[in-house]
Amino acid sequence: MTLIIRKRTIQHIPILEVVSKELMNEPLPLVIYYHGWQTKKELALTAGKKIANHNIRVILPDSMYHGVRKVEQPSLIPSFTFWSTIQYNLSEFPLIKDFYFKRNLVKDDLFGVAGFSMGGMTTSAILTHYPEVKAASILMGATDFNHFISRTESYLKQENKNSSFEIRDLLSWTQKYDLNQMPEKIAGRPLYFWHGTEDQKLPYQNIHQFYLDHKETDYGENMSFDTGINEPHILQINTMEKTGTFFAESFDL
């Protein structure tokens, strides 16, 4: 198989499409993959290729304030820019999805979403609103938005940059996208987690506990979790390959 990388702009969203050259105009399973904080779509290419190797069309968007959309100092409060970026991802997700569905380029409605770090948090949020997503992968992400916001509050208090009330009020929209508060939204869909035990940015214990709390339920029975022993907040090649295999198996390819 020969993979090609197509640069496209869907409305205002710059993306890379990774797809088999021989099948590029045919309906294929579709996965949208979101990069992490302060990176860009090009740095997600290796992960995208590992998924695309299974005859899956992979879309890599540049998130707002990242890649070709980067702006100088979008906010004096980096954590607010972080959440704003996720909010943009959520608002743009249906635009990307609809572009491919309306052109009949999605085979048998096989549609998934994945992401690393901030992209994993985006994936978690998408699961709360889009039942048409058939499978998802959260790689070193988080499901508990409330906990993450509490950490932000502590940081802002230490730095005297803003009040806790103000930041929590401004981020009140996150409560409607917090998978930790509505785990039943998983709805039995295949969901693959990978997380390193030495992650200093998004603690391992929080998301692993989410998995343990819900894996025996009807809605969580198709979750799986791989632990990276002594792994920091970095995605390794073998994890990218496992993610590709996960989607291939979930789509029964």
Reported as a single tens digit per residue, the pLDDT across 46-55 is: 999 999 999 9
pLDDT (0 to 100) of residue 152: 76
- CATH code at position 38: 3.40.50.1820
- Given a cut of 70, whether residue 179 has pLDDT beyond it is yes
What number is the average pLDDT over the span 79-104? 95
Residue 196 belongs to what domain range?
Answer: 3-250
pLDDT at 125 over 90: yes
pLDDT confidence tier of residue 80, bands split at 50, 70 and 90: confident
Domain count, the chain: 1
Instruction: Assess whether pLDDT exceeds 80 at residue 122.
Output: yes
Among 182, 173, 189, which residue's Cα sits nearest to residue 138? 189
Q: How confident is the model at residue 81 (pLDDT cuts 50, 70, 90)?
A: confident
Give CA separation, 66 vs 43, 84, 136, 149, in Å: 11, 12, 23, 21
Give the mean model confidence (pLDDT) for residues 224-232.
Answer: 97
User: What does the DSSP assignment read for 134-194?
Assistant: -EEEEES--S-HHHHHHHHHHHHHHHTSS-HHHHHHHTGGGGGG-GGG-GGGGTT--EEEE
pLDDT, the chain, mean: 94
Residue 159 pLDDT more than 70?
Answer: no
